[in-house]
Amino acid sequence: MTEIDRREFVVQTAGALAAVALVPKLGLGSFTLAEPMRVGVIGLGRQGRAIIAELSGIEGVTITSICDTDERRLKSGSRRARGAATTADAAAIFDDPSIDAVCIATPTHLHRALVEQALAAGKHVYCEAPIAHTIEDCRAIVRAARDASTVFQPGLFARSDPVYRLARTFYRSDAVRDLVSMSAAHSKKTSWRTPASDPARAAALNWRLDPDVSTGLAGEWGTHQFDVFHWYLDRFPVAVTGRGSIRLHDDGRTIADTIACMIEFEDGAVLDYQATLANSYGGTWELLRGTNAAIRLEWTHGWLFKEADAPTQGWEVYANRQQFHNDEGITLIAGATKLAEQGKLKEGVGLPHSPLRYALADFLKSAAEGSPPPTTAADALRATAVGIIADRAVREQTTIAIEPAMLDA
């Protein structure tokens, strides 16, 4: 918008804004911070730009600086945060004492150095997951977070996601009972290539296809999904078997575009994980089957599928249901009791905000209030390490035993 347009709007709307201030609040207060926060965003690819949009929706947040080494991405980021200073050097953000917090969404292998510098500069840090491309770098991040007086939160959305939190209470109750098996998948038909007009930039932008730094599908997507099972089970895998191949993108890459992993837990429970860049059917989901019910999770939605012989619980009578061919799922709705009282249960299906918004809000609340974040660096180490080990199992088409020490800092 030009300056003239902006002035027109301010004049046009000044009176009406005062009138709206008299209207009672709707209940979006969960996205209001106790203290204003000044935030820098480092890395302006798709995730970095999504972070800018979601931060903009949180009252009390000012995005003061954005950083990327790619001019095109800086320009694109600026469109969403016009007032933010732009820089190609993250040190400019770390050296600015007015900035309280940074969000890091760079390529995975660049996380460690940035996290260490940011924490050393006294910034609160939100870092996308996987937090690093080697277990050693993950451990270094855990140490840096432990030594810091500020908050470190990894970008594992599930632990902030109201649907996942609600589903976890069901999982840990008698509603699901004994665990039978687990499955998860990520499916999206995409080349994983980033175009660049400059061939030199193409190499840097296509880090996910570089076998030296990429963690493959198991690391880049699996890490997020493995954390769900770690969190729900409060246990960690003991072995992973991997298989992978190139089913579609036979363009000279060596990173598999389709993988399957069998992830084993100590008591014999198995997580079947599949991911592909060659087909989009089903998207991204996790499934836990228990002796009384199954829970299916799809980031903004969740369902409970009960067995016929499972004990009846009173609230089910009022539950919202959805048919999936021969199965009927009870929709998991955060705050369902309150919505049911208002006769608005159906309106509560699906999250009203992106899962990223909840994760960022949790991070900034922890930073503003000095409270512990819902997800720790140690959680991220374990999820990322399993992702890295699973990627290695895929590359070597083998089974790798996971010793507990491998997941420790």
Partner 1 sequence: MGTRFELVLDGQDATRLRAAGEEAIEAIEDAHRRLSRFKRGSIISEINAAAGSDPVYVDDELLDLLGRCERYRVQTGGAFDIVFRAAGGAGEAGSEPICTNRRPILDIDTRRVALPDPCQYIDLGGVAKGFALDLAAESLRETGVERALLHGGTSTIVAIGGPWRIGLPFGDPPGARVTLENLALSVSSQHGDRPGHVLDPRTGKIADGAHAAACLARSAEQTDAWATALVVLGCLPESAPPGLTAVLGSADRGTLPSEQRWTVEGPHAGAVAIGSTHGADR
State the residues that interact with partner 1 by CB under 8 A. 1, 5-6, 9-10, 12-13, 16-17, 19-20, 23-26, 28, 31, 46, 49-50, 52-53, 56-59, 72, 79-83, 190-191, 193-197, 251, 300, 349-354
Beta carbon nearer to partner 1, 2 or 312:
2
- Please say which residue, 49 or 124, places its beta carbon nearer to partner 1: 49
| Cβ atoms 194, 284 nearer than 8 A | no
Smallest distance, partner 1 to C-beta of residue 116, A: 29
Q: Are strands 321-324 and 270-276 parallel, antiparallel or unpaired?
A: unpaired
Pick between residue 209 and residue 294 the one whose CB is nearest to partner 1. 209
Q: Judged by CB, which is closer to partner 1: 232, or 363?
A: 363
**Cβ 132 to partner 1 shortest distance, Å:** 25
Q: How far is the CB of 172 from partner 1 (least distance, A)?
A: 26
Q: How far is the CB of 54 from partner 1 (least distance, A)?
A: 9
Minimal distance in Å, beta carbon 238 to partner 1? 37
Minimum Å gap between C-beta 202 and partner 1 is 8
Closer residue to partner 1 (CB): 58 or 394: 58
CB of 118 to partner 1, least distance (A): 23
Smallest CA-to-CA distance from 101 within 47, 50, 33 is with 33
> Cβ neighbours of residue 353 under 8 Å, at least 6 residues apart?
31, 54, 57
Closer of 178 and 251 to partner 1 (Cβ): 251
CB of 97 to partner 1, least distance (A): 24
Of 184, 186, 183, 206, which is closest to residue 195 (Cα–Cα)? 206
Sheet holding 32-42, edge to edge: 85-87, 59-67, 32-42, 101-104, 124-128, 152-155
For partner 1, the closer of residues 109 and 249 by Cβ is: 249
Nearer to partner 1 (CB atom), residue 59 or residue 341: 59
Minimum separation from the CB atom of position 94 to partner 1 (A): 24
Show the 3-state SS of the chain: CCHHHHHHHHHHHHHHHHHHCCCCCCCCHHHEEEEEEEEEEECCCHHHHHHHHHHHCCEEEEEEEEECCCHHHHHHHHHHCCCCEEECCCHHHHCCCCCCEEEECCCHHHHHHHHHHHHHCCCEEEEECCCCCCHHHHHHHHHHHHHCCCCEEEECHHHHCHHHHHHHHHHCCCCCCCEEEEEEEEECCCCCCCCCCCHHHHHHHCHHHCCCCCCHHHHHHHHHHHHHHHHHHCCCCCEEEEEEECCCCCCCCCCCCEEEEEEECCCCCEEEEEEECCCCCCCEEEEEEECCEEEEECCCCEEEEECCCCCCCHHHHHCCEEEECCEEEEECCCCHHHHHHCCCCHHHCCCCCCHHHHHHHHHHHHHHHCCCCCCCHHHHHHHHHHHHHHHHHHHHCCEEECCHHHHCC
Q: Smallest distance from the beta carbon of 145 to partner 1, in angstroms? A: 29
